[in-house]
Amino acid sequence: MTSALKHRRRALVTGGAGLIGSHVADLLLREGWSVRILDNLEPNTHRRGRPAWLPAAAEFIEADIRERAATRAALDSIDVVFHQAAYGGYMPEISKYVHVNSFGTAQMLEIIREENLPVKKIVVASSQAVYSEGAARCPAHGLVFPPVRSLAQLGAGDFSVHCPHCGGATTPAATPEHAPVGGETVYAITKVDQERLVLTWGRQTGTPTVALRYSCTYGPRQSIFNPYTGVIAIFCTRLLNNLPPILYEDGLQTRDFSFVEDIARANLLAATTDRTISRRRKRSCAPEASCSG
């Protein structure tokens, strides 16, 4: 941790009423930070209004990240921004994703720069969604990055992931950070936008920035209302209602899950490590890779 951060640890957690943001806020408070939360209590997520877990010790601003004045006020005297607020999931409001995620992030960066605010670091929530299908292993071609499966393939009942070179069967493989970054859903496109905006801005202004590409996250406070809420909450809700969980495709698909408190700790580590400060991007990183600073 830099000495500057050690003495003035003031955090803004956007989306701090949500699953990940609220655990980030709790952890920061436990670690002695002062915490401000900006969250509009998006009705898709917070159908019952203000959640009980909002910590009394944090300052809470109920406002939309798209509101310029509210975002400006939220950024006042902040050292580190944990930018978690986003419109998530696979809903049809294309313009809302772009407006909340892309525009909201762009405007926040613009305010910090225009007003020369003393923000020392930004940690932005990106997503595994930027990797599309992710990596796979072909017996002939090794690690490959297959394109998203076509509707025609899925319609024909073939749910496997094929090698882009030989069309052969692949097995799932851990996706390395340098994997190609795309965006095959509107949500994913805006997550690519968010991380590129933040990392590019960081390089231009000399501000350390980090993008964390979370995997599927689960844990207490996960909204059961949001359709994006994740398969664990959906399975649990069905089981609690004496309904069997529904497995789509052939049931052989796999997902990696992360516990929310581990994600919160990753945010704290990213915020407090010096390894993201004033480093030029490594050559091996793809332009979009999360290694700015």
Ligand X SMILES: NC(=O)c1ccc[n+]([C@@H]2O[C@H](COP(=O)([O-])OP(=O)(O)OC[C@H]3O[C@@H](n4cnc5c(N)ncnc54)[C@H](O)[C@@H]3O)[C@@H](O)[C@H]2O)c1
* Sites of contact with ligand X (CB under 6 A): 15, 17-21, 38-42, 45-46, 64-66, 84-88, 100, 104, 125, 127, 214, 216-217, 223, 226, 230
Q: Which does 165 bind (CB under 5 to 8 A by kind): ligand X, Zn ion, none?
A: Zn ion
Cα(279)–Cα(207) distance, rounded to whole angstroms? 11
Tallying the residues shown for the chain, one arrives at: 293
Task: State the nearest-atom distance from the C-beta of 214 to ligand X, in Å.
Answer: 4
Distances in Å between the Cα of 40 and the Cα atoms of 26, 64, 168 are: 18, 5, 47
Contact flags string 108-147 toward Zn ion, x per CB under 5 A: ------------------------------x-xx------
Q: Judged by CB under 5 A, which stretch of 96-104, 161-169, 175-183, 275-283 contacts Zn ion? A: 161-169
With respect to Zn ion, which residue has the nearer C-beta, 168 or 176? Answer: 168
With respect to ligand X, which residue has the nearer C-beta, 127 or 292? Answer: 127
Give the pair of three-digit tokens for residue 89. 């999931």
Contact 127, 214 (CB under 8 A): yes
Contact 123, 208 (CB under 8 A): no
Match 């002695």 to its residue by tokens.
Answer: 32
Contact 75, 8 (CB under 8 A): no
CA-closest candidate to residue 46, choices 76, 74, 77, 16 = 16
With respect to ligand X, which residue has the nearer C-beta, 170 or 194? Answer: 194
Helix (H, G, I), strand (E, B) or coil at 258: strand
Contact 194, 202 (CB under 8 A): no
CA-closest candidate to residue 218, choices 238, 233, 228, 236 = 233
Task: State the nearest-atom distance from the C-beta of 38 to Zn ion, in Å.
Answer: 47
Contact 175, 134 (CB under 8 A): yes
With respect to Zn ion, which residue has the nearer C-beta, 166 or 246? Answer: 166
With respect to ligand X, which residue has the nearer C-beta, 1 or 73? Answer: 73
- For Zn ion, the binding residues in 163-182 under the rule CB under 5 A are 163, 165-166, 168
Task: State the nearest-atom distance from the C-beta of 83 to ligand X, in Å.
Answer: 7
Q: Which does 130 bind (CB under 5 to 8 A by kind): ligand X, Zn ion, none?
A: none
Q: Which does 140 bind (CB under 5 to 8 A by kind): ligand X, Zn ion, none?
A: Zn ion
Residues that bind Zn ion (CB under 5 A): 138, 140-141, 163, 165-166, 168
